[in-house]
Amino acid sequence: MKNNLDSANSLGEIRKLAEKYPTIEEEVLDSVEPVRSNGKIKNLKVFNPATEGEIFDLRREILKIDQDIKVTDSTQQDIKKRKLFVSFLNDHCKIAQYIFSGKTSCHVCKKPRLSNEMFERLYHLPDPEPLNCDKYKSFDQLHVYGKPTSEKYRPSLVGKPSSEHGLPFSPSSQYAKNVEMVVLCSDCDKPRVLYSKKVVRGVRRTQLSNCLTDIQYTCGFSFDELDLEEETHVLKTVFLRKNITCNCTIELTYYSAGFEDVCFFCGTDELEPAEAGDEDEAKKYYPLCTGCKDNGKKLVERRTRNKFNPK
Ligand SMILES: [Zn+2]
Ligand SMILES: [Zn+2]
Ligand SMILES: [Zn+2]
């Protein structure tokens, strides 16, 4: 058994092993050293993982909201398809990048334990607001509790993307084709293109996809932030644009490299179908989904190569 685990190189492989050998889960939990604060993170608090029983109880509650929800619905895109659950979240919760708070009552929720009087005075948590250039207001300084606030001062929205793409070469569709792989942002679910000057095939390709399952990528992250000791590590030759945030559209090179069509604005593959007879016209534009169209997003014309500007 131990040997099996030793040969597993990624979380994905360990998961597969655990499906075959039920005792693996315990072995892994036993072997993981407790997280230690490295001094840089002061207020780090370690929580125990949820138990099987707790997960079961949560699932039973969720099924009361939407009976269609499956155990395999694990991504934001999966959840978006569960209409009842989404409308429950919209009625009950405030969902922001750093905040999730809920309040209201209905057939699923139990009656609040607080007195009515106190419950009425509870509001959703306010969004962050700046005090000055490098500090945010404390809760007491906010004076907006109970009033609507917006996410516009959220650090990742205020923070300008790096002005440089950060690649040692230009991120072209040719270099994207050398990798033929994208990575999904864990915040916005958009696919982001991987670039390499040399073709990544065979063992290095396997090594790359194993590494990617272990990394929780968010837009703007670059592999050089990782502590890679091995000089020949595959992540030292594969790059992502640094000058990208979750607000950015899909990269143009994504389309020119020939990846599967996804919405230009949000990255979903559930696209607005072209009207019959209009297919050729539709090809002139980057793909658009129904949701983005309904939100007022306009079609963007595809960049075409011409002889004066070969790329
Ligand atoms: Zn409710
Ligand atoms: Zn993102
Ligand atoms: Zn969209």
Q: Where are the domains of the chain?
A: 1-31, 76-159, 173-294
- Mean pLDDT, rounded, of the chain: 82
What pLDDT is attached to residue 309? 44
Residue 306 has pLDDT above 60, yes or no: no
- Ligand closest in space to the Cα of 293: 3
What spacing in Å lies between the alpha carbon of 251 and ligand 3's midpoint?
Answer: 14
Which ligand gives the minimal distance to the CA of 217?
A: 2
How far, in Å, is the centroid of ligand 1 from the Cα of 53? 23
For 198-251, what is each residue's pLDDT tens digit? 999 999 999 999 999 888 899 999 998 888 888 888 999 999 999 898 889 999
Residue with tokens 């939990």: 29
In this structure, the number of other CB atoms found within 10 A of the CB of residue 97 comes to 14
Both structure tokens of 159: 């923070």
Q: How does DSSP classify residue 196?
A: E
Q: Comparing C-alpha atoms, which of 188, 185, 193 is closest to residue 256?
A: 193
Interval 243-261: pLDDT, tens: 898 889 999 999 999 999 9
User: What integer is the mean pLDDT of 137-142?
Assistant: 79
Residue 126 has pLDDT above 80, yes or no: yes
Around ion ligand 2, which residues have CB less than 5 A away?
Answer: 185, 187-188, 219, 246
Question: What distance in angstroms lies between residue 297's CA and the mean position of ligand 3's atoms?
Answer: 8
Top-confidence range, 74-78, 155-159, 303-307: 74-78
What's the average model confidence in pLDDT over 77-99?
82
User: Which position has the higher pLDDT, 93 or 197?
Assistant: 197
What is the structure's pLDDT at 88?
87
Cα 105 to middle of ligand 1, angstroms: 4
**Token output for 71:** 């155990």
Contact yes or no for 67/74 (Cβ under 8 A): no
Q: 118-123, long-range: CB within 8 Å, 24+ apart, which pairs?
A: none
Q: Judge whether residue 146 has pLDDT over 70.
A: yes
Give the mean model confidence (pLDDT) for residues 78-97: 84
One-letter amino acid for residue 243 of the chain: N
* Nearest ligand for residue 157 CA: 2
Q: Is the pLDDT of residue 38 over 60?
A: no
Q: What is the ipTM of this complex?
A: 0.68
Q: How far is the CA of 69 from the centre of ligand 1 (A)?
A: 17
> How many Å lie between the centroid of ligand 3 and the Cα of residue 295?
9
Q: Which ligand is nearest to the CA of 90?
A: 1
Banded model confidence at residue 80, pLDDT cuts 50, 70, 90? confident
Distance of alpha carbon 255 from the chain centroid: 20
Centre of ligand 1 to C-alpha 107, Å, is: 6
Of the listed ranges 15-24, 29-38, 47-56, 157-166, the one predicted with least confidence: 29-38
Q: How far apart are CA 42 and CA 75, in angstroms?
A: 30
Instruction: Please report the pLDDT score of residue 249 as a whole number.
Output: 93
Ligand nearest to the CA of 290: 3
The CA 188 to ligand 3 mean position distance, Å, reads 11
What average pLDDT does this structure show over 86-109? 76
Going from the Cα of 252 to the center of ligand 3, the distance in angstroms, rounded, reads 15
Q: What is the mean pLDDT of residues 114-137?
A: 79
CA of 77 to the centre of ligand 3 (A): 11
pLDDT bin (cut points 50, 70, 90) of residue 195 is very high
Question: Percentage of the chain with pLDDT > 90?
Answer: 27
In 3D, which of 8, 12, 4 has the Cα closest to residue 214? 12
Q: Are 185 and 245 in contact (CB under 8 A)?
A: no
Confidence of residue 35 (pLDDT cuts 50, 70, 90): low
CA–centroid distance, 245 to ligand 3, in Å, is 16
Q: Which ligand is closest in space to the CA of residue 77?
A: 3
The pLDDT of residue 16: 78
Ligand nearest to the CA of 262: 3
**Phi and psi torsions of 131, nearest 5°:** -90, -50
pLDDT (0 to 100) of residue 151: 78
